[in-house]
Chain A
Amino acid sequence: MKLFSLATALLGSLTAVGAPKIGVMPKIMGIDYSNAMGRGAVAAGKELGVDLVFDGPVTNDPAKQAALVETWIAQKFAAICVAPNDPDAIGPALRKARARGIKVLTYDSDAQPRSRDFFVNQASPAAIGKALIDSMVRNVGPEARYLIITGSLTAANQNLWMAEMEKYRQKAYPKMVNLSPTPKAAEEDSARATQVTIDVLKAYPDVQGIFAITSEALPGAAEGLIKAHAAGRVFLTGLSTPKSMSGYVKSGACGEVILWNPEDLGYLTVQAAVQLVEGRIDDHSKSISAGRLGQKQIVDQQVLLGEPLVFTKANIDQYGF
């Protein structure tokens, strides 16, 4: 009897070939933001009964991402979802995947549109740019002198948001001054962000506000302000997870935090990937029924999660990510 159940279990695992393999790759493993997206992705994978692999490089290296994509191609994945560190470097690998019939999605940050089927976007870049600028104006005023700390200078999402910030600023608050049109790069490393912030405070003594627009840069920048005794004097806002910023917001080192729900983003990505594989959505779809998230819009081959959220002292503890 035992042998029989063992044999069927073994046979079952061999024939689990049936469940499609879906790969989800963040920019870098091991940071809170990626882990949150991973949780959402894994949850969706379980719900939809697919074999979900969440893996990525341990440094924000575009070449390593491309190598892993090629491995997934070799393993005959049904769909590959990537948050690229560099939209161009990942192109050839993604196009190879599409040529082999694998569905390709980007999420969080885009690649070249011809390299992927859909881009799962957390919020429209215009909305993110507006939310950031509005946050600075709300707290410092419409003539604020500010600086931006970003992740890597090649990341498409951050570059797009900064472009939108500039567009909106020119239209709505032309008196705001960007003290350094070339943003400072923290490379997804909060320790580097701390150092960059300290350097920035020395180089630009008249800075009134700092944007730190990646999940690792913002806590790093808060630390930098504290170390340089500028917390509370220089206004800090940006994009990061409420959990990692909760202490800083409550102590006043960081004024406001803007984000969307990364778990939902991961969840939506896998929903879109699986539905694309199963043919439930295609290139002409205008909306997707995304499980627990309900109806989401698809515009221009982009699946939109929604509007950004603003976290302040009042609500920052209400979220589990």
Chain B
Amino acid sequence: MKRWPHVFGREALLLLMIIGVAAGFGFAKPGFLDPVNFADRTRYWVETGLIAVPMTFIIASGGIDLSVGSLLALAGIVAGVLHTRAGWSLPAVIAVALATGMIGGLLNAAAIQLLRLPALVVTLATLALYRGLAFGITGARPISDWPESFTDWGSTGALSFGVRWGMPWSLLILLGWTAAGAVLFHRHTIGRHARQLGENAGAARFAGISPARTRFAIYGMSGLACGLAAVLWTARFATAHPGAAQGLELDVIAVVVLGGTRITGGAGSVVGTFLGLVLLGLLRYGLDMNSVPQQDQTVVVGVLLVLIAALNEAWAARSER
């Protein structure tokens, strides 16, 4: 009989912080809690959130994936080129974007597993490789020729409840993806295998877990998330840009660490990752609404990350005693 693991104490703390931040900023600036503004803002969390789900598995398994931003850009560019230069239909190139992402992810897994190289080294290389391909394919030019129905859906499309505001479709996709990821991580063998791999790779193998299968699954998932994020990103900005999402991997990792997943592997929580996403997103939103300059915001976020990461490690050390 499977139980939800004890890790949820940390989630409660995150939830409390979220409520605190929302209340604090909401009090200071009433526009903060306005549903229309808020719904618009959540669009900016979607790509990070989508990729953060498989990243939770990856980091919990003791690995890392630094190539996600570059893969997002590459998937968008490949789709864009086929759409504008080869005349492929929109549904076809969306499928291509997803496939490109997945192939990129599987390639990472192959290099890690078959070449026996550390994930950090492999994904650092593919970060450069995928980005270089994206720039090379279009000569660094972006692709902006998308149907208006697509870009309208991306920038303002929402499920309307008949009231003034609606829930953006991209947010719904994120929620669905996160829910599926949470179930897979906390209840399914793939989540358990990932965590066990991160805890002790040797012991995991003796326990009958196939590192190859696990890695292909989780890095493939990460690549798929990049492809999906590429579709949403391109729709939102009406542009497939080879330089898109530079630095996204750092945002994703920050959110995963905030959520309580240990950077050294072995423990993690998709629920925590999602809460980390919301917390970081609300924090940045609140600081923006109060016109705190971007340069100062990076300091605030940096300090928060250090505090939470330290707290996570201290907590984990305590529970291990």
Give the interface of A toward B (CB within 8 A). 29-30, 53, 55-59, 61-64, 66-68, 70-71, 73-76, 86, 88-89, 91-93, 96, 152-154, 182, 185
CA distance A62 to B295 in the complex (A): 16
Q: Are A89 and B237 in contact (CB under 8 A)?
A: yes
**A76: B residues at CB distance < 8 A:** 31
| Known contacts A63-B245, A92-B151, A92-B155; is-contact A154 B141 (Cβ 8 Å) | yes
CA distance A57 to B284 in the complex (A): 13
Most chain B CB within a 10 A radius of its CB, from A55, A67, A70, A89: A89
Query: Closest B-chain residue to A92, C-beta based?
Result: B155
Q: Are A62 and B241 in contact (CB under 8 A)?
A: yes
CA distance A154 to B142 in the complex (A): 7
Q: Are B40 and A88 in contact (CB under 8 A)?
A: no
Give the interface of B toward A (CB within 8 A). 29, 31, 34, 37, 40-41, 44, 139-142, 144, 151, 154-156, 233, 236-239, 241, 243-247, 285, 288-289, 291, 293-295, 298
**Which of A55, A64, A74, A152 makes the CB contact (< 8 A) with B289?**
A74
Q: Are B139 and A182 in contact (CB under 8 A)?
A: yes
7 tightest Cβ-Cβ pairs between the two chains A and B: A74-B37, A92-B155, A71-B288, A88-B144, A89-B237, A153-B140, A88-B239
**A64: B residues at CB distance < 8 A:** 294
Known A-B contacts: A53-B291, A75-B31, A86-B241. Give 8 more (CB < 8 A). A57-B294, A59-B247, A61-B247, A62-B237, A75-B289, A75-B291, A86-B239, A91-B238
**B29: A residues at CB distance < 8 A:** 75
| Known contacts A29-B294, A56-B294; is-contact A153 B141 (Cβ 8 Å) | yes
Query: Closest A-chain residue to B293, C-beta based?
Result: A55
**Measured between C-beta atoms, what is the minimum distance from B50 to chain A in Å?**
15
Query: Closest B-chain residue to A95, C-beta based?
Result: B155
Q: Are A74 and B34 in contact (CB under 8 A)?
A: yes
**Which of B156, B243, B244, B294 makes the CB contact (< 8 A) with A68?**
B294
| Known contacts A29-B293, A30-B295; is-contact A92 B40 (Cβ 8 Å) | no
**A93: B residues at CB distance < 8 A:** 155
Query: Closest A-chain residue to B244, C-beta based?
Result: A63
**Measured between C-beta atoms, what is the minimum distance from A155 to chain B in Å?**
11
